[in-house]
Amino acid sequence: MRRHHVGAAPLDRDAENGWEVTGLLGGTSLDGVRMAGFRDGAGAGLDMQVLPQPAVVVVLAVGEARMTVESADGPRPLRSFVASLSPGPARIRGEGVECVEVNLSPRAAHALLGVAPRELEGSVNGLEDLWGRHARRLGEQVTDATTWQERLALTDAFLAGRAAEAPPMWPEVAAAWDTIVARRGRVRVADLAASFGWSRKRLWSRFTDQIGVTPKRAAMLVRFDHAARALCAGGNAGDVALAGGYADQSHLHRDVLALAGCTPGELAGRATSAG
């Protein structure tokens, strides 16, 4: 099985393709955090294109799992890593992969990463570069744990501890993000700023600082995420463009090409081949 598109399908999609997938019973203790344990039960290997999405993805390797990140900077072996909202063209490859994957909404990422989200934009970073010895210790703990529920509970407790010490997000920035998500990216930045009594420039600056991308880019990512899911589920490009708030099919084509590096048809075709 080859996982091709992070964020373009639900986490449990891979259970149909030879991967063992386990979620945390009862859910996570933090809002905006989803996690699951993955194991390549079929031994088919990992080949995953990392797509932009409205979430930061943290992958924590378990055991001897080794992965390689292939990006514009060349291949890099990374045991555990963090992919930003718009990581740029990148693929993750690996054999014998076992890992905990955590999806963080931008609001959660602001609290948990320990760095300004804008510093991660356009990249896939080693987890130890962000969390240092804490990442190493967490990796040791999840590897020593004997069940997936233990591993996921350890990860959840670690994140809850970081959240307790995190600085708050500006309420206007949080509300702006929530509005963009609720409206599936169909917002005007000027109207959004005016709703808080802010100037467009002020919203742009503070939103970018705490979310990691501009409000316009955030809206583009949210629209793209819904469109990518619909296309990978077999949706017609024209219908997807109309439902997603794109001006026309050409607008969808341009956004998919800019964010995924391929056409809508190619994106859908890759998802089909992954199944």
pLDDT per residue as tens digits for the range 2-54: 343 333 333 344 555 678 999 999 999 999 999 999 998 888 788 888 888 89
Q: Are residues 124 and 205 part of one domain?
A: no
d(C-alpha 55, C-alpha 225), whole Å:
10
Residue type, 220: M
Q: Does 231 score more than 80 pLDDT?
A: yes
Q: Are residues 146 and 40 part of one domain?
A: yes
Domain boundary among 164, 184, 216: 164
Note the pLDDT of residue 17: 66
The pair of three-digit structure tokens given for residue 162, joined into one six-digit string: 């970081």
Q: Are residues 138 and 221 part of one domain?
A: no
Q: Residue 74: how many CB atoms within 10 A of its CB?
A: 7
Residue 206 in contact with residue 165, Cβ under 8 Å? no
d(C-alpha 182, C-alpha 185), whole Å:
8
Q: What is the CATH number of the domain that holds 43?
A: 2.60.120.10
Q: Are residues 224 and 142 part of one domain?
A: no
Q: Are residues 46 and 130 part of one domain?
A: yes
Helix (H), strand (E) at residue 95: strand 90-95
Q: Are residues 147 and 35 part of one domain?
A: yes
Query: Is 231 a domain residue?
Result: yes
pLDDT band at residue 269 using 50, 70 and 90 as cut-offs: confident
pTM: 0.86
Q: Are residues 32 and 140 part of one domain?
A: yes
Domain boundary among 142, 164, 186: 164
Q: Are residues 121 and 90 part of one domain?
A: yes
Q: Does 1 score more than 90 pLDDT?
A: no
pLDDT per residue as tens digits for the range 250-266: 999 999 998 888 889 88
Nearest 5°: CA angle at 48, between 240 and 221? 40
pLDDT band at residue 70 using 50, 70 and 90 as cut-offs: confident
d(C-alpha 32, C-alpha 104), whole Å:
6
Range of the domain at 27: 11-164
- Please give the C-alpha separations between residue 176 and each of 182, 194, 207, 226, in angstroms, as whole numbers: 10, 11, 8, 18
- Please give the C-alpha separations between residue 10 and each of 70, 95, 181, 210, in angstroms, as whole numbers: 23, 22, 17, 26
Query: Is 77 a domain residue?
Result: yes
